[in-house]
Amino acid sequence: MGSEAATPRNRPVVVGVDGSRGTPGTVDLAAAEAARCGASLQIVHVWPGRYRGVFRSRDAVPSKADGVRLLELTLRRAALARPGLPIATELLEGGAAATLAGCSGEARLLVVGHRDDPYTRPSWGSTAAYLAHHSACPLLVNRGAGREGPVVVASSARPSGAATLGYAFAQAALLGSRLVAVHSWIRPGAADGRAPAVVKGMYADQRRAADARLTEALAQWSERFPE
């Protein structure tokens, strides 16, 4: 892991493609992210032909040749959109969620699409939800057209969340946008299901303490990114 090839700076942006309606937009987004951060792009398709796990799809399984064709088409699209961008493709076998989680260990960013029917089924989809918990690198889920606005980061205000804050600060600096840090706090006693003790004047003190924890968590990154 200490080699030059294993450093995060040289890791590719990995995008998982499945041939759904959102695939072209997901590839465009991944190519733009790779170009923006000066990384290569790796397009991955997970072919489920020999997969026999519990999450096997009930739909007709495309052939391996279909997977190769999909990779060729998406590579052409990305190359036309971002001339000069280093692009590679890879056809893998297995369950999409676990296989892409494995790819995330060597990626600087993993990009996947939202399910095709977001209006009738509000969840992310099982693959994206699994990756949100198990991806070893930052995960970007393509949910459609982007909008101008700030980078928003949810902060736990704990040391374990330092990497998330650092990534958000870096992205905001790279985009030249504002950063909004959101910290959701609960009063002492509420965490374990007990009704919090309400003492006159204590709410303001507890709120100030929560504010102070957030300010402390942001301080080191504000110094590194003064803009």
Same domain (yes/no): 135, 156: no
- Which CATH number does the domain housing residue 136 bear? 3.40.50.12370
Same domain (yes/no): 137, 161: no
Name the domain count of the chain: 2
Residue 156 in tokens: 């736990």
Listed residues 92, 113, 142: the one ending a domain: 142
Same domain (yes/no): 10, 87: yes
The whole-number pLDDT of residue 3 equals: 30
Q: Which domain holds residue 48?
A: 4-142
Listed residues 107, 142, 177: the one ending a domain: 142
Same domain (yes/no): 58, 132: yes
Other Cβ atoms less than 10 A from the Cβ of 134: the count is: 14
Residue pLDDT tens, the chain, 227 long? 233 333 466 899 999 999 988 999 999 999 999 999 899 999 999 988 765 555 555 556 678 899 999 999 999 999 999 999 999 999 999 999 999 999 999 999 999 998 755 444 445 568 899 999 999 999 999 987 777 889 999 999 988 889 999 999 999 998 899 999 999 887 765 555 566 666 666 788 888 999 999 999 999 999 999 99
**Residue 185 · residue 161 · CB < 8 Å:** no
Listed residues 142, 169, 201: the one ending a domain: 142
Same domain (yes/no): 125, 24: yes
The whole-number pLDDT of residue 52 equals: 52
Same domain (yes/no): 138, 160: no
Same domain (yes/no): 136, 177: no
Cα separation, 34 vs 85, whole angstroms: 8
Q: Which uninterrupted H or E stretch holds 103? A: helix 96-103
